[in-house]
Chains A and B, each alone.
Chain A
Amino acid sequence: MADANPQTPVGDGHADDIVVNSLYAKAAKIYPREVHGLFARLRVLGVLGLLGIYYITPWLQWDGHQALLLDLPARKFHIFFITLWPQDFIYLAVLLIISGLTLFFVTALAGRVWCGYACPQTVWTEAFTWIERKVEGDRMRQQKLDAQPMNVRKFRIKATKHLLWAAFAGWTGYTFVGYFTPIIELGQRTLTFDLGPWETFWVIFYGFATYGNAGWMREQVCKYMCPYARFQGAMFDRDTLIVSYIEARGEPRGSRKRSVDPGALGLGDCIDCTICVQVCPTGIDIRDGLQYECIACSACIDACDDVMEKMGYEKGLIKYTTENSMEGKQTHIVRPRIVVYALILAGIMGLFAYSFSTRVALGLDVIRDRNQLYRETEEGLIENVYILKVLNMDDVAHRFNLQVSGVPGMQMYMDLPEIRVASGDVLELPVRLRVDEAELHARSTHIRFDLVAEDDDKLAAAEEARFLGPQ
């Protein structure tokens, strides 16, 4: 129930103004009250799990290297037993598309669970709020402290909080850089004050971003900066899970004594204690209906259930529900939107899995020597020169066999005794081809290079090229 100010004239232009003004109004600081309950426990579990994954992963080792290392300086990504090269960029792009579609699918099904439980903004804000609560005390104490003029005690408390925040944020930035530079080596170089300028820059940059976003900006990131918060509504339908206040049951709201029967007073179940507003990290009143600021963290569900229990009423005045369910209709989990999202998602995932499992860890490029089109040798043969670039993307070194086809009796000369390429190396191989002029029937003839690893038939690549002659 939006309380419209009766004094505000409602016209087109004015309606716009009101919305804009309230959107950009100077935000009052929000002091979310601590919550306990089922969903709060789930969120803490999610937060601990995700933070754990984030801080521990770079320290894991696999087969003698860092298990997850996006080695930008060496231009290769190690993901456990997989090594990705710049040529594999498409896989990362598709992986991002899959993540996006998964988010759409989950949103259509379960609403903004991402926002409430898994978004880094939520996760780090939760951690920062926890530190704040440990240092400054609960909501009331925090408000009291902020209302005081600066004094020694206030300064000490605030300084402690910011130092702890800065340390945590610094460690976060350090871990972030550890995904791109080997973290153990990074640690050793930090201890000997030998950190490169750009590594230092990124540790500070990411640390500062964490400190600012989780310490200061908080819900404003969700309200003003998050693109997902703006468009997630498009994935919603009447069967999507939302956090909602059951207006029919709660209204008319009003305070009453525990012993009094609300029916006798003509009241609904909402006792107007405003605890649901106090716990809200984005500072909204869920009783005003579904709002885009709501990140579905369900803190208000826990808080209200607690109050309902104390009052001896049934729980679930605020609960996870769907619009259909609130109107007494049936909620459908399987519906066209879900089926379509699921089919697209499954299709792309299948293609990705197929393409990735049949990926050949060998790259072959053929470049014609640009200096001359062709040369006639002393024996009267026509010679073309090529540079072959062989990229071994496998984890071990290989020796390769090269064959060429396209013109009968073609002779191949290489300057190297064998084609041996170490793991991750690119070999530049000059190759000279000679043919009898009689075999050429046009100025340009298609030829084909075939490269196969000696120890593995499947590690093969082929590349077409042109052979130029005088005709």
Chain B
Amino acid sequence: MSDRQIPKSQKCIAVLWPSFLVAIIATGLFFSAFDPEELYPFGEDTGVSRLGIYSIGFLCFWLISTISGIGTLYFAITNCMARDRDNPGQ
């Protein structure tokens, strides 16, 4: 199975959707433990509302898990391609 056989849209969903779910869980856990108003990232007062911090936090978690998802997809595909190259008869 080479990566060209999987449409781009499928790849996007395969990465974005699970990381979205993970981001929801991470946001819930993180902000249950930490109040945004008691957080001073890099020693600065953010001046952003709680709702804003939650949203930014969620988007950051989503971004991080998306990067992880892209990594997984990349390794899965390159492994498959290497296997195909090593066993051209398959």
Contact = CB atoms under 8 A, between A and B. Distances in A.
Interface stretch (A192-200, A358-366, A446-454): A192-200
Contacts of A86: 31-33, 35
A180 B21 CA distance: 19
A329 interface: no
A445 B38 CA distance: 32
A202 B50 CA distance: 14
A13 interface: yes
Contact of B49 (A16, A198, A224): A198
Contacts of A17: 1
Contacts, number: 43
A24 B55 contact: no
Contacts of B21: 227
A443 interface: no
Interface in B14-28: 17, 21
A196 B49 contact: yes
Given A24-B10, A72-B50, A198 B90 contact: no
A75 B6 contact: no
Contacts of B32: 86, 89
Given A86-B35, A224-B10, A225-B17, A72 B5 contact: no
A227 B18 CA distance: 9
Contact of B51 (A16, A20, A26, A196): A196
| Dominant secondary structure of chain A at its interface with chain B | helix
Contacts of A180: 51
Nearest to B53: A198
A384 interface: no
Interface in A239-254: none
Nearest to A199: B51
Given A24-B5, A225-B17, A197 B52 contact: yes
Nearest to B6: A24
B43 interface: no
Nearest to A88: B32
B47 interface: no
Contact of A26 (B7, B49, B55): B7
A72 B50 CA distance: 8
Given A24-B5, A224-B10, A75 B35 contact: yes
Interface residues of A, number: 23
Interface in B28-64: 31-33, 35, 49-52, 54-55
A16 B1 CA distance: 9
Contacts of A199: 51
Contacts of A201: 55
Interface in A175-232: 180-181, 196-199, 201-202, 224-225, 227
Nearest to A23: B10
A86 B28 CA distance: 10
A225 B13 contact: yes
A180 B51 CA distance: 9
B13 A73 contact: no
Interface in A11-26: 13, 16-17, 20-21, 24, 26
A22 to B, nearest CB: 12
A62 to B, nearest CB: 23
A199 B55 CA distance: 10
Given A17-B1, A24-B5, A86-B35, A181 B51 contact: yes
B25 to A, nearest CB: 10
B84 to A, nearest CB: 10
Nearest to B89: A13
A42 B49 CA distance: 44
A218 to B, nearest CB: 14
A181 B17 CA distance: 26
B6 A202 contact: no
Interface of B: 1, 5-7, 10, 13, 17, 21, 31-33, 35, 49-52, 54-55, 90
Interface of A: 13, 16-17, 20-21, 24, 26, 72-73, 75, 86, 89, 180-181, 196-199, 201-202, 224-225, 227
Sorted nearest first, the 8 A-B pairs with minimum C-beta distance are: A89-B32, A13-B90, A198-B55, A73-B50, A198-B51, A86-B32, A198-B52, A73-B51
